[in-house]
Structure 1
Amino acid sequence: MKKIIIGENIVKSFGEGDEHRNVLDGVSVEINEGEFVAVMGPSGSGKSTLMFSLSGNDGVDDGKVVFDGKDLSTVGENELSDIRRTKMGFIFQQPTMLKNLNILDNIILPSMRGNGKNTAKISEKARALMKRVGIAELETRDITQVSGGQLQRAGICRALMSSPKIIFGDEPTGALNSKSAHEIMDIFSEINADGTAIMLVTHDAKVAARTERILFMRDGIIVSELKIPKFDGTDIDHRVEEVTAKMLEIGI
């Protein structure tokens, strides 16, 4: 299977003098096309830093990141921005949206760059995505007029507008109640089933249990991983038990 991301001996540090530390300390990781991966670990273990480094949002101090065959350290900032905009999707715990725009306009805004003459086509795709995730009736709502779960669905639509090769999610269910979190994970499963790779950073064993490979981090390194079959919708309790048992085994 083709590898969409290859990270080799990634080092990322912060601070100076006595405060200097490696948040990533020689991490190597590969993600295949269409793979569903979770990253778990205690706060400060390097989970989010790894995600930002693999996506080119953060430069690395040593090692390299290859995305879709291209070494990200060799491209200029404009090309890197285009790669992130057209081949990657990003979903965060709190979607960043503009208060002066309605839901539909927030979804299409990033896609307007370089496509200003195709507004109708872009809007049509956004409406199709909104229908897919169950928020078709909310397109004219302000972002303050929808629930957290609905806003996260809008964030997913925005991430999918460019038909990305991979979606990165940093605690995408962290601010949601259990029902909304379950529904968002159902959407992620559908997206992944269509062939889009997904990498989620999470503290939630139930979220991680919906993926197929879990990387466990501590002190800036990957200390273990767990591979489980694709989720078929029927064995979540057993899968959560596997994840929590692994967490206890490695002490995180």
Structure 2
Amino acid sequence: MKKIISGEHIVKTFGEGAERRRVLDGVTVDINEGEFVAVMGPSGSGKSTLLFALSGTDNVDGGKVVFDGKDLSELGEKELADMRRRQMGFVFQQPTLLRNLNILDNIVLPSMRDNRKNAAQITKKARMLMARTGIAELEKRDITQVSGGQLQRAGICRALMNSPKIIFGDEPTGALNSKSGQEIMDLLTEINADGTAVMLVTHDAQVAARTERIVFMRDGQIVSELKLPRLGGADLDGRVEAVTEKMREIGI
């Protein structure tokens, strides 16, 4: 299977002097095309920092990250921004939507930056994605007029607008109730089944159990992995138990 991202001996430090700390301490990890990966670990283990490093959102202090054959350290800021916008999608715990725009306009805004001449086609795609994610009737609503789960669906629509090769999610269900969180995971599972790679940072074993590979981190290093078969219809409880047992085994 072809690698879409390769991180080799990644080092990331924060702080100065006596406060200087390696948040990523020589991490090596690959993500393949179409893979569904979760990253778990205690607070401060480096989970989100790894996501930001692999997506080129944050520079690394050592090692390298290669995305789709390109070494990110060799790209300028504009090239990195264009790559993230065109080939990656991001879903965060709190969707970063603009208050002065309605839901539809928030979804289309990043794509309009690249191709204003195709505004009608972009809007058509946004409406198709909104219908697919169950928020078609909300396009004229302000972001203060919808629920957290609906906002997250809008964030997923925006992340999918440019048909990215990978979706990065940083605790995408962390601010949602269990029902909304499950619905968001259903959507991400569908997206992955269509061939888009997904990498999620999560503390939730229920979320991690929906993926196919779980990377466990502690103190800036990967300490273990767990591989699971593709999710079937009724095996979630057993998968959750496998995840929690692995967490107990490695002490996180």
The TM tier, using the shorter chain, reads: over 0.9
In structure 1, the partner of 2:208 is 208
Deviations 1:164-219, CA, capped at 9 Å, x for gaps: 00000000000000000000000000000000000000000000000000000000
Identity of matched residues, %: 79
Q: 1:85 offset after TM fit, Å? A: 0.4
- 1:61-80 map, 5 Å: 61-80=61-80
Please tell me the root mean square deviation across aligned C-alpha atoms, in Å. 0.4
1:50-61 alignment, distance < 5 Å: 50-61=50-61
Q: Aligned letter for 2:98?
A: L
State the alpha-carbon separation in 2 of the partners of residues 45 and 204 from structure 1.
Answer: 15
Q: What residue identity is the alignment partner of 1:211? A: T
Show the counterpart of 2:197. 197
- Find the counterpart in structure 2 of residue 176 from structure 1: 176
- Runs ≥4 in structure 1, deviation > 3 angstroms? none
Q: CA deviation at 1:233?
A: 2.9
Q: For residues 185 and 97 of structure 1, what CA distance do their matches in structure 2 show?
A: 20
Per the TM alignment, residue 114 of structure 1 is displaced from its structure 2 partner at its CA by 2.1
Which residue in 1 is equivalent to 2:121? Answer: 121
**Helix, strand or coil: the match of 1:5?**
strand
Match of 2:18 in 1: 18
User: Which residue in 1 is equivalent to 2:136?
Assistant: 136
Shift of 1:33: 0.1
Q: SS in structure 1 opposite 2:94?
A: coil
Separation (CA, whole Å) in 2 of partners of 1:232 and 1:113 = 40
Deviates more, 1:232-241 or 1:160-169: 232-241
Alignment correspondent of 1:9: 9
Which amino acid letter does the alignment assign opposite residue 95 of structure 1? P
Taking structure 2 as the reference length, the TM-score comes to: 0.99
TM-score (norm 1): 0.99
Number of the residue aligned with 2:43: 43
Looking at structure 2, the residues matched to 25 and 132 of structure 1 have their Cα atoms a distance apart, in angstroms, of 41
Instruction: Encode CA deviations 1:37-73: one digit per residue, 9 max, x unaligned.
Output: 0000000000000000000000000000000010000
Provide the secondary structure at the position in 2 that maps to 1:210: coil
Q: Deviations over 1:218-245 (max 9, x none)?
A: 0000000000001123100000000000
Q: Which runs of 5+ in 1 are unaligned?
A: none
Residue 15 of structure 1, CA deviation: 0.3
Secondary structure of residue in 2 paired with 1:179: helix
